């Protein structure tokens, strides 16, 4: 029997809207869409002619959001409802090929609920924290584009049999088709027939699936493994490229505590657009190996704004340079704890920005990072840019998030330190309001900030 416990809602009501309007209004840009607006609540009907696609979650939060973006766009292009899997707010899990990823979710997630002893095969799921998508990101504007979603109730293998009465045997061939994912980048979706596997096309995918062919599929369910990959959808039509951009722009954090505390920190930094921002990722994999290169790229980018002319167009003279050095030395001696350094840095921004004569080493900078002790890990950057701050420099805000924030863990019980799960989204949200942003190459965390930063400036310019 079909027993749905959740339904999709096109909502942004109550207290969430208050916080969304107070902060995200700075981020959203009004964009036109030729797609009809859907205003009514969407509730799927089991016996209807509705058709669906689904996929499985893996990796960290921002990789999951990237996967969700791809899936939402594909669902729109083939006119199907997307069955949305839960988001994992905890530590990222690894991609695995078909059917191993489904097997891991089948085995490991119940062990979390049962608080079973750790097992070798579930080692990367020990900090898996499932949450409903709309508890973290607002899908109301996605639904307004005509894209329909349905929150998946379970990631167990019997999901389609239990909730949709799809028999788990040969009889399901006419109802569901599963696309196998044998290598990390197995299938790529093409919106135009005849593209094929061409060397001049981006991405290194093993095979391709034509979107026009998917439109013709009669099965009720199209089941995919992974949807992650910057080039998973190879789009050549302008309207499809615009749709992807629009979906990416609309898929933003909406949890009220993320909005509340990021706004508090942005205001403390002088307000939106009154500080530069950067992101340095260094904690795992290739990012850990290339952190020195990342630091150098960020340093060069920040120094690239080096003042060479004064406000009248003349060269910066020796006296100005000497005064700048004295100021840098004085600031470097102010204790890093407390607000004294931040207040002095803000005062300098207000004074020198009026004359357009601010030395880059004196620029107020907010750096988002996964480093546990940024001032020790990136001491070279902090010594060079004396007005650089990060989330760990604001312990009162961290404490407030840890003590006051909660998340809906979709029946997984009370997760210890729930507020800790929201610190990375707060970090990203603050950085998105920089006057300029420099990120880590290849990081989806940086990509999210960069995209939202562009939206912020676009809205700011439009008034």
Return phi, psi of residue 146, to 5°. Answer: 95, 5
Write down all domains in the chain, each with its CATH number in brackets: 14-250 (3.40.50), 256-462 (3.40.50)
Residue 16 clears pLDDT 50, i.e. is over it: no
Q: Which of 411, 450, 444, 458 is nearest to 68 (CA)?
A: 444
Return phi, psi of residue 221, to 5°. Answer: -125, 125
Q: Which of 296, 287, 307 is nearest to 445 (CA)?
A: 287
Sign of the Cα torsion 261, 265, 268, 273 reads negative
Residue 21 pLDDT: 38
Residue 132 pLDDT: 92
What are the residue ranges of helices labelled H in 90-184?
100-114, 140-144, 159-164
Q: 61-70, 143-152, 195-204, 403-412: which has the minimum mean pLDDT?
A: 195-204
Higher pLDDT pick, 72 / 313: 72
DSSP code, position 309: B
Q: Is 344 helix (H, G, I), strand (E, B) or coil?
A: helix
Please report how many Cα atoms fall inside a 13 Å half-sphere around the Cα of residue 150, on the Cβ side. Answer: 24
Q: Which two tokens stand for residue 105?
A: 């979710």
Per cent of the chain over pLDDT 90 is 54
Residue 391 pLDDT: 96
Q: What is the mean pLDDT of the chain?
A: 82
Residue 143 clears pLDDT 60, i.e. is over it: yes
Distance CA 135, CA 113 (A): 20
Give Cα separations from 282 to 225, 275, 276 (angstroms): 28, 23, 20
Residue 39 clears pLDDT 50, i.e. is over it: no
Higher pLDDT pick, 283 / 223: 223
Contact call for residues 143 and 10 (beta carbons, < 8 A): yes
Q: 369 - beta bridge partners? A: 280
Give Cα separations from 24 to 150, 304, 432, 438, 462 (angstroms): 24, 30, 11, 21, 16
Residue 366 pLDDT: 96
| Count of other CB atoms within 10 angstroms of residue 390 | 21
Q: 11-25, 91-105, 355-369: which has the minimum mean pLDDT?
A: 11-25
What are the residue ranges of helices labelled H in 145-193?
159-164
Q: Which two tokens stand for residue 419?
A: 């507020």
Quick one: average pLDDT of 417-430? 91
Distance CA 280, CA 429 (A): 15
| Count of other CB atoms within 10 angstroms of residue 23 | 23
Residue 309 clears pLDDT 60, i.e. is over it: no
Residue 27 pLDDT: 39
Cβ-in-10-Å burial (0-12, 13-18, 19+) of 216 comes to exposed
Residue 399 clears pLDDT 50, i.e. is over it: yes
Distance CA 196, CA 324 (A): 58
Residue 365 clears pLDDT 60, i.e. is over it: yes
Q: 188 - beta bridge partners? A: 208
Residue 242 clears pLDDT 70, i.e. is over it: yes
Buried b (16+ CB within 10 A) or exposed e, 360-382: bbbbbbbbbbbbeebbebbeebb
Contact call for residues 29 and 458 (beta carbons, < 8 A): yes
Residue 411 pLDDT: 59
Residue 145 pLDDT: 95
Contact call for residues 362 and 430 (beta carbons, < 8 A): no
Q: 106-110, 232-236, 311-315: which has the minimum mean pLDDT?
A: 311-315
Contact call for residues 77 and 191 (beta carbons, < 8 A): yes
Residue 5 pLDDT: 31
Q: Which two tokens stand for residue 73?
A: 């766009």
| Count of other CB atoms within 10 angstroms of residue 123 | 11
Q: Is 116 helix (H, G, I), strand (E, B) or coil?
A: coil
Q: How confident is the model at residue 14 (pLDDT cuts 50, 70, 90)?
A: very low
Per cent of the chain over pLDDT 70 is 81
pTM of the model: 0.84
Return phi, psi of residue 328, to 5°. Answer: -60, -45
Q: Which two tokens stand for residue 177?
A: 């088709």
Helix or strand holding residue 188 (H, E): strand 187-190
Q: Which two tokens stand for residue 422?
A: 């929201």
Question: Which residue is listed with tokens 């004295």?
Answer: 326
Distance CA 431, CA 367 (A): 7
Q: 14-23, 43-52, 364-373, 396-405: which has the minimum mean pLDDT?
A: 14-23
Quick one: average pLDDT of 231-259? 95
Quick one: average pLDDT of 145-158? 94
Residue 49 pLDDT: 86
Residue 354 pLDDT: 56
Q: Which two tokens stand for residue 192?
A: 């135009």
Q: How confident is the model at residue 418 (pLDDT cuts 50, 70, 90)?
A: confident
Distance CA 266, CA 435 (A): 12
Residue 298 clears pLDDT 90, i.e. is over it: no
Residue 152 pLDDT: 94
């Amino acid at each position: 029997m079909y027993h749905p416990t959740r339904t999709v809602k096109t909502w942004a009501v109550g207290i969430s809207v208050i916080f969304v309007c107070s902060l995200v209004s700075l981020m959203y840009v009004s964009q036109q869409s030729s797609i009809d607006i859907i205003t009514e609540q969407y509730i799927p009907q089991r016996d209807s002619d509705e058709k669906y696609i689904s996929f499985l979650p893996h990796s960290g939060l921002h990789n999951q959001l990237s996967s969700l973006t791809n899936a939402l766009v594909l669902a729109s292009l083939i006119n199907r409802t997307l069955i949305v899997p839960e988001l994992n707010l905890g530590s990222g899990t690894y991609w695995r090929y078909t059917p191993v990823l489904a097997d891991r979710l089948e085995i490991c997630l119940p062990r979390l609920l049962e608080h079973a002893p750790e097992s070798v095969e579930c080692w990367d799921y020990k900090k898996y924290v499932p949450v409903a998508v709309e508890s973290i990101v607002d899908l109301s504007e996605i639904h307004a584009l005509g894209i329909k979603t349905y929150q998946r109730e379970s990631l167990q293998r019997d999901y389609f049999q239990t909730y949709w009465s799809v028999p788990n045997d040969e009889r399901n061939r006419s109802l569901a088709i599963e696309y196998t994912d044998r290598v990390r980048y197995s299938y790529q979706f093409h919106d135009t027939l005849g593209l094929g596997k061409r060397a001049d096309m981006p991405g290194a995918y093993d095979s391709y699936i034509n979107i026009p062919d998917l439109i013709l599929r009669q099965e009720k369910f199209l089941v995919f493994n992974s949807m992650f990959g910057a080039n998973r959808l190879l789009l050549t039509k302008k309207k499809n490229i615009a749709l992807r951009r629009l979906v990416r722009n609309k898929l933003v954090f909406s949890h009220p505590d993320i909005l509340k505390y990021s706004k508090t920190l942005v205001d403390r930094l002088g307000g939106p657009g009154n500080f530069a921002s950067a992101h340095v990722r260094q904690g795992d994999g290739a990012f850990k190996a290339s952190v020195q290169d990342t630091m150098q790229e960020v340093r060069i980018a920040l120094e690239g704004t080096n003042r060479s002319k004064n406000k009248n167009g003349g060269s910066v003279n020796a006296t100005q340079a000497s005064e700048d050095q004295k100021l840098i030395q004085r600031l470097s001696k102010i204790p890093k704890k407390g607000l004294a350094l931040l207040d002095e840095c803000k005062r300098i921004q207000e004074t020198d920005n009026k004359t357009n004569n601010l030395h880059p080493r004196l620029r107020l900078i907010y750096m988002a990072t996964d480093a546990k002790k940024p001032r020790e890990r990136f001491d070279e950057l902090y010594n060079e840019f004396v007005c650089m701050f990060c989330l760990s420099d604001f312990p009162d805000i961290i404490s407030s998030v840890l003590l006051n924030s909660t998340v809906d863990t979709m029946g997984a019980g009370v997760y210890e330190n729930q507020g800790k799960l929201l610190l990375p989204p707060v970090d990203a949200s603050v950085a998105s309001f920089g006057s300029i942003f420099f990120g880590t190459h290849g990081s989806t965390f940086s990509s999210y900030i960069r995209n939202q930063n562009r939206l912020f400036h676009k809205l700011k310019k439009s008034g």
